[in-house]
Amino acid sequence: MKVIIPVAGFGTRLRPHTLTNPKVLLNVGGKPMIFYIIDQLIKDKIATSIILITGFLGDKIKDYLDSTFDFKFDYVVQDEAKGLGHAVLCAKPVFKNRNDEVLIILGDTLFDVDLKRMISSGDSVIGVKKVDDPRRFGVVEKDGSGYIKRFVEKPSSSKVSPSNEAIVGLYYLKNSAKLFRSLEHIMKNNITVKGEFQLTDALENMLSENEKMKTYDVHGWLDCGKPETLLETNRYILKKRNKKITKEYPNSKIIHPVFIGKNADISDSIIGPYTTVNDNCIIRNSIIKDSILEKDVSIENCIIEDSIIGEGAVVKRDIHKINIGNNSEYKS
């Protein structure tokens, strides 16, 4: 089966990190987020072809994947980020047999899900998760027999949402020809939301052409699109892996779960829980928890929490020498 992974977005919600690195190469739990998606696809042996839709900083993604996996990837450039629907349509030339089935996975979302089971129902399947506040998401509305009858993009706050099943970014479609036809339809008719061609509009069009689609509950849905969700995913991965660090660092305490990369130089510090420290970081006299440190970061005299620190960054504070009188207040 062919798998399309769109990775051409700018990742604006993760700036400044995404100004110099594509979002999918940001590290979570010790690996770039795209690693987990590709690793699962290759291990599960469900992809005959993996097509990456690249754009801004796409060469970095290509270099990383080609040097990490023994797999021949297809790369298609989306010259302008015109939305997810447009990105998926860019993959059309790779589909020589237009009736191929297709799996679409968003590059910035990890899934703890049994993909083989998800695609085994015989129908097209859309990954969903029940959420408390569906108004922030695209949702699906189903008929009595469990088939999707409507897609609703971000039900507005004035309306009652028709369902609480949010679309999570995992789409299995039996017939790529129908998908591409529907994408071309929304492009031709200039059907956009906030100026972008949406995949959900094409799916809606497929429903109107009697395509049968079911939902699949995705419990492990790990969004990496915003700083807070990236850190949440970091926690999830570290907790799940729960690998104990046996190496000792001078006068330091490691509170698991953590990931510590190669050549980390740590002293007089407390690291963890839920902290990823990538290769070559230097940490002195600091406390770091719930954070991600990219490679070559240097930290001294700091207490750091819920933070993402980019490659090569230096964060140092002075040690304050204080000579302070009774009943004074000093805050820093």
Rounded to 5, what percent of the chain is helix, strand, coil? Answer: 25, 30, 45
Q: Is 135 in the site for ligand UTP (CB under 6 A)?
A: no
Q: How far apart are CA 196 and CA 14, in angstroms?
A: 19
* DSSP assignment letter at 243: P
Is 29 one of the binding residues for ligand UTP (CB under 6 A)? Answer: no
Q: CA-CA distance, 140 to 289, in Å (whole number)?
A: 38
Q: What is the 8-class DSSP label of residue 320?
A: P
d(CA 276, CA 308): 10
For residues 212 and 264, what is the distance between their CA atoms, to the nearest angstrom? 52
For ligand UTP (CB under 6 A), the number of binding residues is 21
Minimum distance, C-beta of residue 77 to ligand UTP, in the bound complex (Å): 10
Shortest spacing between CB 207 and ligand UTP, in angstroms: 22
Residue 106 makes contact with ligand UTP by CB under 6 A: yes
Identified binder of ligand UTP from the candidate list 29, 58, 107, 272, rule CB under 6 A: 107
- Cα separation of 179 and 320, whole Å? 62
Is 8 near ligand UTP (CB under 6 A)?
yes
Q: Does the protein bind ligand UTP through residue 32 (CB under 6 A)? A: no
Please report whether residue 199 would count as binding ligand UTP according to CB under 6 A.
no
Question: Smallest gap, in angstroms, from Cβ of residue 281 to ligand UTP?
Answer: 26
> Closer CB to ligand UTP, residue 19 or residue 303?
19
Select the residue whose beta carbon is closest to ligand UTP and give its number. 9
User: How many beta carbons lie within 10 A of that of residue 84, not counting itself?
Assistant: 24
By CB under 6 A, is residue 84 in contact with ligand UTP?
Answer: yes
CB of 156 to ligand UTP, least distance (A): 19
* 60 touching ligand UTP, by CB under 6 A: no
Identify the sign of the CA torsion 65, 1, 88, 120. negative
Query: Are 219 and 112 contacting, i.e. CB atoms less than 8 angstroms apart?
Result: yes
How many Cα atoms within 13 Å fall on the side-chain side of residue 150? 11
C-alpha 197: how far from chain center = 20
Q: Does 92 bind ligand UTP (CB under 6 A)?
A: no
User: According to the binding rule CB under 6 A, does residue 222 interact with ligand UTP?
Assistant: no
Q: Is 308 one of the binding residues for ligand UTP (CB under 6 A)?
A: no
> Which residue among 23, 129, 174, 178 contacts ligand UTP (CB under 6 A)?
23
In which residue are the tokens 């072809």 written? Answer: 49
Asked whether position 4 contacts ligand UTP by CB under 6 A, the answer is: no
| Candidate list 31, 62, 82, 289; residue touching ligand UTP; CB under 6 A | 82
Q: Per rule CB under 6 A, is residue 168 in the interface with ligand UTP?
A: no
Residue 193 as a binder of ligand UTP (CB under 6 A): the answer is no
Tokens 């094409």: give the residue: 202
Does 304 engage in binding with ligand UTP (CB under 6 A)?
Answer: no
CB atoms under 10 Å from CB of 218, counted, come to 22
**Phi and psi angles of residue 200, each rounded to the nearest 5 degrees, phi first:** -60, -30
Residues lying near ligand UTP in the complex (CB under 6 A) are found at 6-13, 23, 53, 78, 81-84, 86-87, 106-108, 225
